[in-house]
Amino acid sequence: MRLPEISKIIQVPDGVEVNTEGRKVTVKGAKGTLNRDFSHVPISIYSNGKTVRVWAEWPRKKEASLVGTIYSHIQNMITGVEKGFSYKLKIVFSHFPISVKVQDKTVMIENFTGERRARRVKIIGDVTVKVQSEDVLVEGLNLEDVSQTAANIEQATKVKKKDPRVFLDGIYVYERNEGME
């Protein structure tokens, strides 16, 4: 059974400006600007000043669920330009001290389990990575870019072909925050 319409409304906070051109959404705030193109999604987006409406007329199950997904993406964009996102990762080692360096748009993980070659991780989008003693701080406005960069750093230090309960070396996410430091 199809419903006549499913819609969600986002209240835009003060200090944030949301513009829509078709299915392209631009969010401007104190920390910066984020753009996103939802033209591949069969739903409608409309903004007027302080509200954004996301809806689908006569949706099937897929379109109905996409309304909630696009709603969440726009909410994350608003949070990103207001506060930003940050992930904290802990460098853990038992025998070989791991050293982490940032060069341009790559993170270099050196001496992981005594390996001679450094493992390289690409920094995605406009994300900053800082190394503070045994913590790695990943910050940015776009939640997808920040979380994917943190996940890539964690995956780069995954121990293969050994018992993970014994070989605990690696870099692990231990904190996620809205708001950059």
Tens of pLDDT, residues 117-175: 999 999 999 999 999 999 999 999 999 999 999 999 999 999 889 888 888 999 999 99
C-alpha triplet 114, 107, 134: angle, nearest 5°: 65
**How many folded domains does the chain comprise?**
2
Q: Which of 82, 99, 132 is the last residue of a domain?
A: 82
Residues 91 and 172 in one domain: yes
Residues 52 and 26 in one domain: yes
Domain interval for residue 73: 5-82
**Which residues, at least 6 apart from 12, have a Cβ–Cβ distance to it below 8 Å?**
18, 47, 49, 50, 51, 52, 78
Amino acid letter for position 20? T
Model confidence at 1, pLDDT cuts 50, 70, 90, reads low
Residues 98 and 173 in one domain: yes
Amino acid letter for position 110? E
Q: How far apart are CA 63 and CA 131, in angstroms?
A: 42
> Is 77's pLDDT higher than 90?
yes
CATH code (residue 48) = 3.90.930.12
Residues 109 and 140 in one domain: yes
Mean of the per-residue pLDDT values for the chain? 94
Residues 73 and 121 in one domain: no
Q: What is the pLDDT of residue 164?
A: 84
Residues 68 and 105 in one domain: no
> Is 49's pLDDT higher than 90?
no
- What separation, in Å, do the N-terminal and C-terminal C-alpha atoms of the chain show? 48
Q: Which of 17, 49, 82 is the last residue of a domain?
A: 82
Q: What is the 3-state secondary structure (H, E, C) of 119-170?
A: EEEECCCCEEEEEECCEEEEEECCHHHHHHHHHHHHHHCCCCCCCCCCCCCE
> Is 30's pLDDT higher than 80?
yes
What is the average per-residue pLDDT within 61-71? Answer: 94
The order of strands in the sheet holding 24-28 is 17-21, 24-28, 33-37
Q: What is the 3-state secondary structure (H, E, C) of 50-85?
A: CEEEEEEECCCHHHHHHHHHHHHHHHHHHHHHHCCE
* Structural tokens at position 64: 């109905």
